[in-house]
Amino acid sequence: MGLEAPLVLLGLLAAALPVLIHRMRKRELPRLVLPTFALLARATAKSQQRRALSDLLLLVLRIAIIAFACLSLATPYVTARVSLGDGQLGSVVFVIDDSLSMARDDGSGNLISQARARALDALSTLPVGSEAAIVLGGKPARVISPLSRDLAAAKRALAAPLPALRRGDLDRAVQLGLQQLNAAGWPHRSLFVLSDFARGGGVDVSSLSAAGVRFAVERVGTPPTRCNLFLEQVHAAADPAEPDKTSISVAVGSACAPGARAPNDARIEVTGRGQTLAKSDVAMQNGHAKVLLTVATPDPDADPGARIRLIVDDALAADNEAGVVLARADAVRVLMVNGDPRPASREDELYYALRALTLVPEAWLALSVRSVDPLAVERSQLRDADVVVLANVPAPESAFAQELQRFVESGGGLIVTGGHRVDAQRYNAVLGSVLATHIIGTREGADVGFADEVDASYLPDGILGLREVHTRGRLLLERGAEAPLSFADGLPALVTRSVGEGRSLLWATTIDADWSDLPYRPGFLPLLAAMLRDAAGPAAVARTPLVPGDEVALPWPRLGSELEIQRPDGKLQRFPVDSKQRTLRYRDTDALGVFAVRAISEAGTARRGAFVVNPPEEEADVSQGPLPKPEAASGVNAPVNVHKPLDAPLLWLVFALAMAEGAFRVRRKQA
């Protein structure tokens, strides 16, 4: 501690001024002899004591104001040891790993808290005017506080809760940090990585190198001494033998530090709807175990979510929990009616479509597809379907058409595709009320492609993949309100419409190679999946577990007013319908368990869906990996002494004392 301008301390002599003024004022008071002095003395006895005390306090305050003002002008400083840079103004990016392994508690609190405290500590040593940014290393890596001289903003960002649940993405986080440093205002640039550098995560040493940037890495936490058991896989499926039962298969894995043994007292517990549904002991063999539990399948209107808990005292508690959906069907049930069946032939109407749908990633859209001939379609089969596809099917009989109408109006999806078997007049007559639009007629012969403009919310990649499609025949469709895709001549290729609580789509051409070469094009699969997702509604929510930080596309409710999401932590989120978007890109997945989705229509009826966010398996190995040693990092961590000026806080103190003096004086006068 020292003073930059010690001579200014001579001004402390001015602290005697209030005392002198006090004494002078005392002598200057006019004197008055009063015979009733005793009465006056009694009248002022109480207030006189208070006044004497307040006088003394005022005197002390005034002396303190002058003393601290002089002290602040003398520019005092303290010597601080800083870990980043040499105390000069600079730009620093803090990369904090918020992957799941950072949720481990090593006895000194969880690692993410330790990392935040360390970053705050380093942040506070930066001189005023320095720039700082905060980047999180959980996947996807993200900047939570851009590079700015507002160090308080960076501190606020660090103070916000950081659930460490994600996969690690430190390499990308470092890249983001370097991008921030590209806009740095100071030549002195540093990037400080705080992580446990667990074996499951880590950072590529080669990424820790950039011209003009000094890298510092610091491992947070001590090595784990216990094994970590984790839920390797959780799968629920309706029991084919007993439709009212759901089987849950749980695979437990372990990752142990050298010399540690996996605990044998683990248990699995399944809870849901406020009660324990099933439980079982876990017998670990060679670091693995499998448990099969059976629970009652909930009613369609009941909460389908269940919680799987691995009860064990291990290294990382955060990955001992997973969610599972106990639904009668674990995928969108698609009933495809084949209007031109030619078994084992490329000319079969569904030949390409069925093969393409087997390639749809489960994480994107889980499908359960059945195909039937038009003559074999039974009314009862509609009950077990979420989406019905009439692929080049002759117009159905009126009874089945009415059944179809009820199916769509009650929330089902209908996709009608073109072909030479589609009789426009007959379709309009029997299915007019449920079709997406009217079919004007059929046109064959002219070769036409798709227009470049496409609804981006329908096909995020745009026309790419459909650009080369040549169509020789098509249904001429009346323009509807929603036409996500059109032909180059302006006529609609796809028209969609909400009918009741359901959805109806009309595809102008065939889904085989009869009228177009669409099945040969790369855009065929995304287009088909997008149509099915649109038609399926909430049922199209991905059934494959996501991991925290993943984005999930949720279809908007049909004719609905809002989408409601009940998070595993009980928080309820509501999203009003955005008419421009067909899906909601939901990113707030930093919680483990079942996210229940409800699509609430204007009529107040709701359709349910759910998706699951489970801990990332690759973060289960929490044992410490090697600490990367960037070349430029040498010396950065060595603490150096710097002067931290104290004049600013002292001036604030003087200001506060002056305010207190003023307030006290006014109050004393009013008393």
Tokens of 110: 């969880």
What angle separates helix 111-124 from helix 151-159, to the nearest 10 degrees?
Answer: 170
579 or 670: CB nearest another protein = 670
Q: How does strand 593-601 pair with strand 606-613?
A: antiparallel
Contact 111, 104 (CB under 8 A): yes
Q: How does strand 387-391 pair with strand 413-417?
A: parallel
- If binding is defined by CB under 8 A, does position 56 make contact with another protein? no
Among 20, 24, 35, 359, binds another protein (CB under 8 A): 35
Minimum Å gap between C-beta 30 and another protein is 6
Q: Taking Cα atoms as reference points, which of 485, 492, 477, 499 lies closest to residue 413?
A: 499
Distance CA 612, CA 324 (A): 6
Minimum Å gap between C-beta 664 and another protein is 16
Long-range contacts of 102-105 (CB under 8 A, 24+ apart): 102/164, 102/195, 102/196, 102/220, 103/163, 103/164, 103/165, 103/316, 103/317, 103/318, 104/196, 104/221, 104/224, 104/315, 104/316, 104/318, 104/622, 105/317
Distance CA 479, CA 504 (A): 14
Among 7, 24, 32, 344, binds another protein (CB under 8 A): 32
- If binding is defined by CB under 8 A, does position 49 make contact with another protein? no
- If binding is defined by CB under 8 A, does position 39 make contact with another protein? yes
- If binding is defined by CB under 8 A, does position 26 make contact with another protein? yes
- If binding is defined by CB under 8 A, does position 24 make contact with another protein? no
Among 7, 20, 31, 631, binds another protein (CB under 8 A): 31
- If binding is defined by CB under 8 A, does position 47 make contact with another protein? yes
30 or 445: CB nearest another protein = 30
Among 5, 10, 14, 41, binds another protein (CB under 8 A): 41
- Determine the interface stretch with another protein among 47-55, 196-204, 602-610, 637-645 (rule: CB under 8 A): 47-55
Minimum Å gap between C-beta 59 and another protein is 15
44 or 108: CB nearest another protein = 44
3 C-beta neighbours (distance < 10 Å), count: 16
Tokens of 39: 């009465």
41 or 464: CB nearest another protein = 41
- If binding is defined by CB under 8 A, does position 37 make contact with another protein? yes
Minimum Å gap between C-beta 44 and another protein is 5
Minimum Å gap between C-beta 31 and another protein is 5
| Positions 297 through 336 that interact with another protein (CB under 8 A) | none
Facing residues of 640 across strands?
A: 82
Total residues found in the chain within this entry:
671
| Neighbour-count burial of 298, counting CB atoms closer than 10 A to its CB (0-12 exposed, 13-18 middle, 19+ buried) | buried
Ramachandran bin of 35, using left for φ above 0, alpha for ψ from -120 to 50, beta for the remaining angles: alpha
Tokens of 29: 């008071």
Q: Taking the alpha carbons of 290, 292, 298, 300 in that order, is the dihedral positive or negative?
A: positive
Minimum Å gap between C-beta 49 and another protein is 12
State the number of binding residues for another protein (CB under 8 A): 20
Binding mask 246-265 for another protein (x = CB under 8 A): --------------------
- If binding is defined by CB under 8 A, does position 359 make contact with another protein? no
Among 7, 30, 211, 344, binds another protein (CB under 8 A): 30
41 or 78: CB nearest another protein = 41
Minimum Å gap between C-beta 28 and another protein is 9
- If binding is defined by CB under 8 A, does position 33 make contact with another protein? yes
The CA-based angle 106-121-224, given to 5 degrees, is 15
Minimum Å gap between C-beta 25 and another protein is 8
Distance CA 455, CA 482 (A): 9
DSSP state of 374: G
Minimum Å gap between C-beta 26 and another protein is 7
45 or 638: CB nearest another protein = 45
37 or 655: CB nearest another protein = 37
Binding site for another protein (CB under 8 A): 26, 29-44, 47-48, 51
